[in-house]
Amino acid sequence: MAKLTARAVEKLIRAAVPGTTGDGQGLYLQIAKNGTASWLFRYQLHGKRRNMGLGPCADVTLAEARNRAADARRLLTVDRDPLAARDEERVAQREAQRLKEARRITFETLAKEYLQAHGGGWSDKWRKGWLRKLELHAFNRIGKLPAYEIGVEQVLRVLQPMWSTKTRTADEVRGQIEQILDAAKVRGLREGENPARWRGNLDNLLSRAEKKKARIREHFPAMRWQDVPALMAKLTICENVRDSAAARLLIFTGARLHMVRFASWEEFDLPAGIWSLSAERMKMRESFDIPLAPEVVALLQSLPRTESPYLFPGQGRARVIHQNAIRNLLHSLGHTDITRHGFRSSFRDWAGDRTTYSRQVCELAIAHDDRDQTEGAYSRSDFLEKRRPLMADWARYCAGTPGEVVQVAFGTRSNPA
């Protein structure tokens, strides 16, 4: 039976005498030494006595305290600890509040957080391009929406205006949206299927033919391998020593532009004839060694050494030659119809047409590993010593005449493969 009344509680609070007064069934009015009054529920579970605060009397009435005590007793009847249950409820409430606040995070913020999380291994150019596509095509339509509000309708609003005219870009943006929304789902910021998924989803709403056509690989315009020696002869006598040397290193080694631009002296072992690139410097994210032909070693030995760690120092924040330096040099020599990257194709065509080196060796020479996953797990060699005579033949070809080249490619190697 309850012993307290609302009036009795008021009198006890005014009197402010420290101690506890029972209301029955484990509920007590507790007055502290400082005069603060609160409600207390005492119970016993598994032989252990426990006290559970039910709130200050200023906020909780006698009737509310009795209801809270009754709720605690119901938990005891099913062998649950009321204190543990309350802690669990508070954790759940905090998590619900966290999710509520997190769900207000906009798509634009999620995209930038995704870039920060995954862009560490990307090049500066790739990071800027990745974000720029979203800025141009997505943020103006869905950037301010939280992830859980983005559905197929919102994704189509981004893609449809450019699907038929800029299909490749549109599909790249679609892939970016899919990645960002997948990450949001893992964080609990959305539920259900990803509305940017292509297969079984957007492929029913957007033209598949346009996507297939846009995915046809665009090849870089390349110089015919037969014309490379003449170009190399021009570069050898070019007045622009730094840029011509960078161009010749690019052609001699079949390297990518960024590999040459940021080439540092510490990467080269000239006595051993090896250019060692770290995994961070390689597109395939594995370290890679390039064998250097005698012509390449001689070229590098002729370069002036400066205080810069780079072979081809320059101005600006990058401290290396401008990314268009080689292109501008080629244009000044009248070669406006080719690209820097295209020399890799020139080398590969020459190797396929005029030598008998194996396809695997030729592909690895330009850092293309076409071995499947199983084969790669057992065959981990980079065929450095097999690539060395191939690159030496290529260097002799580039520095010589076409007639001498064929003789080198076919007549001087007993077993080039």
Domain ranges of the chain: 6-98, 107-214, 225-411
Q: Residue 271 — φ and ψ, nearest 5°?
A: -60, -35
Confidence of residue 22 (pLDDT cuts 50, 70, 90): very high
Residue 369 has pLDDT above 70, yes or no: no
| Structure confidence by residue, pLDDT tens digits, 130-142 | 999 999 999 999 9
Q: What's residue 2's pLDDT?
A: 59
Q: What's residue 285's pLDDT?
A: 57
Residue 376 has pLDDT above 70, yes or no: no
- What SS3 state is found at 356? coil
What CATH number does the domain located at 6-98 have?
3.30.160.390
Average pLDDT over residues 288-298: 94
> CA nearest 235: which of 313, 330, 300?
330
Residue with the larger pLDDT of the pair 218 and 336: 336
> Cβ(262)–Cβ(281) under 8 Å?
yes
Residue 415 has pLDDT above 50, yes or no: no
| Structure confidence by residue, pLDDT tens digits, 79-112 | 999 999 999 988 888 877 776 666 688 999 999 9
Average pLDDT over residues 279-297: 84
How far is 108 from 82, CA to CA, in rounded Å? 43
Most confidently predicted of 1-5, 179-183, 382-386? 179-183
Nearby residues of 84 by Cβ (< 8 Å), 6 or more positions away: none
Confidence of residue 374 (pLDDT cuts 50, 70, 90): very low
Residue 237 has pLDDT above 70, yes or no: yes
DSSP 215-273: TSPPPPP---GGGHHHHHHHHHT-S-HHHHHHHHHHHHHT--HHHHHT-BGGGEETTTT
Q: What's residue 129's pLDDT?
A: 92
Q: What's residue 407's pLDDT?
A: 36
Q: Where are the alpha helices (DSSP H) in 27-106?
A: 62-77, 82-102
Average pLDDT over residues 304-324: 87
In CATH terms, the fold of domain 225-411 is hpI Integrase; Chain A (1.10.443)
Kindly give the interhelix angle for 124-137 and 167-186, rounded to the nearest 10 degrees.
100
Q: What's residue 59's pLDDT?
A: 93
Residue length of the chain: 417
For the chain, report the end-to-end CA distance as a whole number of angstroms. Answer: 99
Looking at 3.40.50.300, 3.10.20.30, 3.40.50.720, 1.10.150.130, the CATH number of the domain 107-214 comes to 1.10.150.130
Residue 408 has pLDDT above 90, yes or no: no
Q: What's residue 37's pLDDT?
A: 95
Residue-averaged pLDDT of the chain: 86
Q: What's residue 414's pLDDT?
A: 35
Cβ density class 77-104: b for 16+ within 10 Å, e for less:
eeeebbbeebeeeeeeeeeeeeeeeebe
Q: Which of 46-60, 100-114, 138-152, 360-374 has the lowest mean pLDDT?
A: 360-374
Residue with the larger pLDDT of the pair 139 and 222: 139
Residue 172 has pLDDT above 90, yes or no: yes
